[in-house]
Structure 1
Amino acid sequence: MTIESLPGSSGFLDAGSDKKISYFSNLYVLGLTVVAGIGGLLFGYDTGVISGALLYIRDDFEAVNRSSFLQETIVSMALVGAIIGAAAGGLINDVYGRKKATLIADIVFICGSIVMAAAPDPYVLILGRLLVGLGVGVASVTAPVYIAEASPSEIRGGLVSTNVLMITGGQFLSYLVNLAFTEVPGTWRWMLGVSGVPALIQFSFMIFLPESPRWLYLKKDKSEAVAVLSKIYGPYRLEEEIEQLSTALEEENQRENAVSYWDVFKLKEIRLAFLAGAGLQAFQQFTGINTVMYYSPTIVQMAGFSSNELALLLSLIVAAMNAAGTVLGIYLIDNFGRRKLALSSLCGVIVSLVLLSAAFFLESSGSSNGFYGWIAVLGLALYIACFAPGMGPVPWTVNSEIYPEAYRGICGGMSATVNWISNLIVAQSFLSIAEALGTGATFLILAVVAVVAFMFVAMYVPETKGLTFEEVEKIWKERAWSSGNGRERLLE
């Protein structure tokens, strides 16, 4: 069954009607979102599965067991690949389109999963990790943009956040798969190889899905773009969308030179947009989310729980809370707003990090019979409960909608690259910093970073809830060339 034949796919959205547009208003749009969001599932699964697989890789390869460097390389090589994939993904999106970029990412990811599953030695395994990282990097750029460009502005935030739900769902799935294959021969090969299945499913569906209508209209085929848009909007709203796209096309035709990476920093309005987008991506990582997701079992054991089984169980609960919180974020992001949601989320993150820091400081000061350990676990739970609905989906949503069409691929790729680089820095430094300064001091540093993140969002990130792409573009132009008073008005 193709997406076009889904029941309700003709239920287009028309601004001229009294019916309120909701997340489930059009199953055609929701179908596009879910299929594109499988890229997020790959993202989440790949980042989570290696923690369990590495235990069994060490058993099979003595060289890995003896070398911390090889272990770190196996884990981090996917992040290196993701950095490269995200950097290249923006250009691939702009030149070849969102659909072809997704198909390319799937092919690379499938090849990587096969290489990992069949790896005869750790060095081939590292190559496989690099390949899946490349696929994840391209997908991390492409999925939010594809979803955003096929979404009505009223529910764009919730639909783009579905991709983040797939990321957190993929992380939770990886924990379940790790548990499922613990007693199966070739344990880690199954854990890593099965990741190719979602990529194959996405590839099979994506062949039958349309290209992003905005990319089609501005880059390739207007009539095909209108055909896709007609399945999303009613006649009145369709006319408005086409008129906006026609204006955007005229502006692009008037541009003398092709878009370049240098333009992102040369043009003031684009530079301001990229500052907001890349800053959000960096702070998403530097406020510690992947410290929690990568090292939650270790944190639990640091808190005084030596049992591996208990540590894994509590980590599974953390992953489930992360996914559940993202579901809440899907509702809040279009009703509460991106900026308010991020600020509220960061307030909770600051409180939870201070609680974690205090628990570890007190734990290290003397015996507490495990009391402060449970306080630390409570801090972890509060952190996820506050982070998941806000700072989880907001950076990806904002980055999918704040750039003009001509720069959406390039800027989206660059900001995703910032995310992956920040991810790598945090993943590689947390345990070392915790060992050097103590866990309490490390979480206190993260709390200070979260305070800086709060100030950054308050100063530089405008509210984009319910705005069209063209209205968002006007925000940056007005902010770039207006007085300070105008800037304050845009921050409201």
Structure 2
Amino acid sequence: MLQYFALLLDSPVLIAAIFAIGIGGTFQYGFCISVMTSASPFIKTMVNETFLQRYNVSLEEWQRSLIWSFAVSIFCIGGLLGSLSASLLTVKFGRKRCVLCNNFLAILGAVLMILSQRVTSFEMIMVGRFLYGLNAGLSLSIQPLYILECTPKRLRGMVGVTVATFVSFGKFSGQLLGIRELLGTPEGWPWLLGFNGFTAFIQLFTLPFLPESPKFLLLNRGDRQACEKALRRLWGSKDHSAAVEEMLEEKASLQDIRSHSVMELFRDRTVRWQLITIVVTFILLQLSGINAVYFYSFDVLRAAGIQEEQLRHSALGIGLCELTASLACFMIVENAGKKALLFRGYAGMAVILLFLTITLYLESRVSWMPYCSLVLIFLFISLFSCGPGGVTSPLPGELFMQSYKSAAYFIACTINWAGLFLVGMVFPIMVEKMDYFCFLVFLVFCAGCASFVWFNVPETKNQTVLEIAAEFRKMHSKSEEKSRKEHKEQKVNIVNLYETKF
């Protein structure tokens, strides 16, 4: 592990790139997810005040909740649209320029949020949330693409985890700033919702000093001189000819091949298993049960004797647990490998969900059982952040060649946003009908993903895209050949049985 840290510390510009791209990137996504919980009572109050001022009508609780829910979910609609446009924009304008322009969406959204209370307009919050969604959708697609293309092969696993680390950091920051002692007040909540504009300004003033993605400069622009200059700035003044040769080897394999569309990616049988891996891992990232565990964490804290007014402070411990586990994943991923972290993460989460269902069932019967549930919640969040949550996001950038990357991120981010929206819609119904037994459904998904990863995904540690593609072919050509042999033997047995009978 120390050798990887030493290698990273030798590249201070790369470290600066990680922080600059992260603080205005997936940090925004994580912050937007967690911040609405603290602001929800103030937004509902303002919605009622707006209707009183305009129409002299006081809304019922369910009407206020419906408008608030739409303000929350419109973020996912914006995120989906941002993901859909990211593929075209990154190919046409480049990674760095797209990220820089993306900050103006967050700044405009922040201005609307800050002014919403002054003009008593909940519609401004909805428009702001939509703009935040566009910003987050673009960031989730572009950040891993840019940072992985700026990173040496030996550090891609470690640096790729920072995408999820900044999501966790954003969630924790939203929880922390949302407490009553800081911005979770009737006067401070517009500034809480507008905090995204501040982090966008940080990125806007730091990213221009960093180079464009070397891989984009060479493979998309055909500018070898600019590529080598960017590599020297990012990785130091050592000889980087081997890295350039690897890129040129990929370029040679893509000679006269343009960037592929999503439909072309679906039709290409040579990358079928890479595509299946992306679809399965991103779908099951949303179906892992992480939202259910967060939902029940407040009930468990109440059962453990935490007072209602202290719940938000106690929940900060859960957010800090996620952030700490994500940092741990950053430190161990290069030694452990992504396949191992995915498999162990999902397998461990499946086991914990089984025990958590049991402890929640026994809470009313055994006085100390809530503490067991609390420990299991911390373990589940740690396994999620140190496994699937940490290593899934950068997978499209590692599994696909340059011509397919944009389409792969398009599919991955579309699945992520659609899954987030559907889980938000379906999960409350599941809780109402099944209560904590809904964990058994998520258990099946976690166990299924662990099995899929074990049997169908090769290790990607310290390997180029072409080497990973060769590993996929080797793994699945054997299984396909075996299935063909079994099918042939089955046919021979049927023929022999038929001849014996007649």
TM (normalized to structure 1)?
Answer: 0.88
Give the drift of 1:185.
Answer: 4.7
Q: 1:258 to 1:445 in 2, by over 3 A?
A: closer
Equivalent position SS for 1:351: helix
Offset at residue 473 of structure 1 (A):
3.5
| 1:269–1:311 CA distance, 2 compared to 1 (3 A) | farther
Q: Is the 8 A contact 1:116 1:128 kept in 2?
A: yes
Q: Secondary structure at the match of 1:396?
A: coil
Residue aligning to 2:112:
115
Seen in structure 2, the aligned counterparts of structure 1 residues 176 and 41 have a Cα distance that, compared at 3 Å, is same
Count of equivalent residues: 464
- On the 8 A contact 2:338/2:459 being kept in 1, the answer is yes
Post-superposition Cα deviations, 1:210-263, rounded to whole Å, max 9, x if no partner, equal: 1100001112232111101123457875111222222322333322x6521111
Q: String of CA shifts for 1:52-81, please: whole Å, max 9, x gaps.
A: 111211122215854232121111111221
Residue 76 of structure 2 corresponds to residue 79 of structure 1: yes
Which one of the candidate residues 31, 34, 45 is aligned to 2:19? 34
Which consecutive residues of structure 1, in runs of 5 or more, have no partner in the other structure? 1-17
CA distance in 1, matches of 2:235, 2:108: 38
- Matched AA of 2:29: F
Return 5+ residue gaps in structure 2 as ranges: 49-58, 484-502
SS of the residue corresponding to residue 210 of structure 1 reads coil
CA contact (8 A) 1:297 1:311 kept: no
The one of 399, 402, 416 aligned to 2:399: 402
Is the aligned partner of 1:468 residue 2:447? no
Coordinate RMSD, CA, aligned? 2.5
- 1:270 deviates by 2.6
Tell me the distance in 2 between the aligned counterparts of 1:41 and 1:64.
35
Distance 2:422 2:186 in 1: 34
* CA deviation profile, 1:158-178 (whole Å, cap 9, x unmatched): 111122111101111111110
Q: How far does residue 329 in structure 1 lie from its aligned partner after superposition?
A: 0.3
Map 1:232-247 to 2 at 5 A. Answer: 232-233=234-235, 238-247=240-249
Q: Name 1:7's counterpart in structure 2.
A: none
Counterpart in the other structure of 1:260: 261
Please report how far the alpha carbon of residue 486 of structure 1 lies from its aligned counterpart in structure 2 after TM superposition: 8.4
Q: Which amino acid aligns with 2:41?
A: L
CA distance in 1, matches of 2:163, 2:115: 30
Tell whether the 8 Å contact from 1:342 to 1:457 is kept in structure 2 after alignment: yes
Aligned to 2:493: none
Aligned partners of 2:83 and 2:410 also within 8 Å: yes
Corresponding residue for residue 337 of structure 2: 337
Matches within 5 A, 1:29-108: 29-38=14-23, 39-62=25-48, 63=59, 65-67=61-63, 68-108=65-105
For residues 315-394 of structure 1, the aligned pairs below 5 Å read 315-363=315-363, 366-369=364-367, 371-394=368-391
Q: Which amino acid aligns with 1:278?
A: V
**Counterpart Cα distance in 2 of 1:472 and 1:395:** 16
- How far apart are 1:133 and its partner, in Å? 0.5
How far, CA to CA, are the matches of 2:61 and 2:205 in structure 1? Answer: 38
Q: Secondary structure at the match of 1:443?
A: helix
Deviations along 1:251-278, one digit per CA (max 9) or x if unpaired, are: 33322x6521111111013332121122
Matched to 1:280, the amino acid is: T
Equivalent residue runs for 1:54-453 within 5 Å: 54-62=40-48, 63=59, 65-67=61-63, 68-119=65-116, 120-179=120-179, 180-182=181-183, 184-220=185-221, 221-233=223-235, 238-255=240-257, 259-293=260-294, 295=295, 298-300=298-300, 303=303, 307-363=307-363, 366-369=364-367, 371-439=368-436, 441-453=437-449
Quote the sequence identity (%). Answer: 23
C-alpha distance in structure 2 between counterparts of 1:229 and 1:285, whole Å? 36
Which residue number in structure 1 is paired with residue 495 of structure 2?
none
AA matched with 2:479 = G
TM-score, length-scaled by structure 2: 0.86
SS in 2 for 1:230: helix
User: Post-superposition shift, 1:155?
Assistant: 1.2
- The amino acid of 1:175's aligned partner reads Q
Q: Which piece of structure 1 moves more, 245-254 or 90-99?
A: 245-254
User: For residue 233 of structure 2, what is the amino acid of its counterpart?
Assistant: K
Bigger Cα displacement from structure 2, 379-388 vs 317-326: 379-388
Are 1:161 and 1:330, in contact at CA under 8 Å, matched by a contact in 2?
Answer: yes
Q: Distance in 2 between matches of 1:287 and 1:19?
A: 30
AA at the equivalent of 1:472:
I
Query: Residue deviations 1:365-410, cap 9 Å, x none?
Result: x4434x3322222221111121111111110132221111111122
What is the aligned partner in structure 2 of residue 456 from structure 1?
A: 452
- Cα drift, residue 138 of structure 1: 0.5
- Structure 1 residues 309 and 109, CA, compared in 2 at 3 Å: closer, same or farther? same
AA partner of residue 417 (structure 1): T
Counterpart amino acid of 1:89? A
SS at match of 2:260: coil
User: Which of structures 1 and 2 has the bigger CA Rg?
Assistant: 2
Question: What amino acid is the match of 2:362?
Answer: L
Report the AA paired with residue 169 of structure 2.
Answer: G
CA 1:325–1:258: 2 relative to 1, 3 Å: closer
Tell me if the contact between 1:37 and 1:143 (Cα under 8 Å) persists in the aligned partners.
Answer: yes
Deviations along 1:277-298, whole A, 9 cap, x unmatched? Answer: 22212211111223334x3554
**Matching residue's letter, 1:226:** E
3-state SS, counterpart of residue 207 of structure 1: helix
